[in-house]
Homo-oligomer: A and B are copies of this chain.
Amino acid sequence: MDSSASRASVVAAQVFGVTAVVLMLVWLIHFRGGLNLNSQNKNLIFNVHPFLMFVGFIFIGGQAMMAYKTVRAERKVQKFIHMILHLIAITLGIIGIYAVFKFHNESGISNMYSLHSWLGIITFCLYGLQWLFGFLLFWFPGAAEHRRKNVHPLHRMAGVFIFLMAICTAETGLIERFFFSSLKHQPEARLINFTGLFIILYGFSVCFSLIR
Contacts and interface: CB of A to CB of B under 8 A. Distances in A.
Interface string A169-212: 00110111011100011000100110011001000100110010
Copies in the complex: 2
A168 B119 CA distance: 11
- Which size bracket describes the interface of A in this complex? 35 or more
A161 interface: yes
Contacts of A204: 161
A184 B110 contact: yes
B171 A115 contact: yes
A104 to B, nearest CB: 12
B172 A119 contact: no
Interface of A: 1, 110, 113-116, 118-119, 122, 153, 157, 161, 164-165, 167-168, 171-172, 174-176, 178-180, 184-185, 189, 192-193, 196-197, 200, 204, 207-208, 211
